[in-house]
Amino acid sequence: MRKKNTLFLAVFTIWAVAGRICYSQTDKGHFMVGGSIGNLSFQNDYFGISFSPTVGYFVIDNLVTGLIPSFEYDSFKLPNGNKTKSTSLGVGPFVRYYFGEGKLKPLLNASFLYYKNTTKPGYSPVDPNDPVLEKDHIIKQSYKFIQAGGGVAYFLSKSIAVEGIVNYGHYMDYNILGSDKSNEVNISLGFQIFLGK
C-alpha cells in the first residue's frame, strides 16, 4: 500500500510540475499577441464583421494588459437596391485575467475603445443641407464602447491558444445632433500567441 501511495504521489508531482512548466505562458513578463473576430453576421440583406488584434504584456502572473486596435464593417441593402456601408476604426486599452494552470483556462475580460465611424448612406438625403452630412452625403461620428465579460482559453500548444469570450457592452454615440446610448451582448472567437522565456 505504501508503494502505491508513493508511486501515486510521484506521478502526481511530476504531472503537476510538468503542467506548470508547459502551461506557464501567462506568467509575469510574457507577451501576448493575437486577435479575435466578432459580430460576424450574414443575413438576407445584411453583412457585418469586426476584427480586433490584441497586443499585451503580463504585468503579474495571469494578468495581461495592452491595446486593442479594432475594425468594424457593416453593409445592408435597402429596398431601393442601394447599399448603406459603415466603417469604424477604434483603439483602446484592455485587461484580462486567466485562471488555472492547465490547458483550459477560464478568463475575465474588460476593455474600453474609442471609435471613429464613417457611414455612406445608400439613399439621397431629404435635406441635402442636413448638418450631419459631410461632403458626398457621408455621415461621420465618434463613439465610445466599454465592455466586460468572460470566457475560456484552450491551449493547443505551449504558446498558442484559442479563445471564446462573451461580453456585455455599452455604446455611447456622438454626432452633431447629440448623443445616443445602447447596450449589446456579443460573442468573439479568436486566438492568442504567447511569447516569453
| d(C-alpha 191, C-alpha 168), whole Å | 20
For the chain, the average pLDDT equals 82
Identify which of 132, 45, 48, 47 has the alpha carbon closest to the alpha carbon of residue 80.
Answer: 45
Read off the pTM: 0.74
| pLDDT tens, position by position, 131-157 | 555 556 778 888 999 999 999 999 999
Number of domains forming the structure of the chain: 1
CA angle 92, 95, 96 (to 5 degrees): 140
CA angle 126, 88, 136 (to 5 degrees): 35
Among all chains, which residue has been given the C-alpha cell 505504501?
A: 2
Parallel/antiparallel/unpaired status of strands 31-42 and 63-77: unpaired
| pLDDT tens, position by position, 152-174 | 999 999 899 999 999 999 988 87
Look at residue 7 in the predicted model and tell me its pLDDT: 45
Q: Is 70 helix (H, G, I), strand (E, B) or coil?
A: strand
| d(C-alpha 124, C-alpha 135), whole Å | 13
User: Where in the sequence is the domain holding 152, given as residue range(s)?
Assistant: 2-195
How far is residue 168 CA from its own chain's centroid?
12
Q: Is 7 helix (H, G, I), strand (E, B) or coil?
A: helix
Q: What is the CATH number of the domain that holds 175?
A: 2.40.160.20
Is pLDDT above 80 for 16?
A: no
Neighbours of 13 (CB within 10 A): 10
Identify which of 119, 112, 108, 36 has the alpha carbon closest to the alpha carbon of residue 76.
Answer: 119
Among all chains, which residue has been given the C-alpha cell 466586460?
A: 148
Alpha-carbon torsion 182, 185, 188, 193, what sign?
positive
| pLDDT tens, position by position, 23-69 | 568 999 999 999 998 877 777 788 888 999 999 999 999 999 999 99
Answer whether 104's CB lies under 8 Å from 117's CB.
no
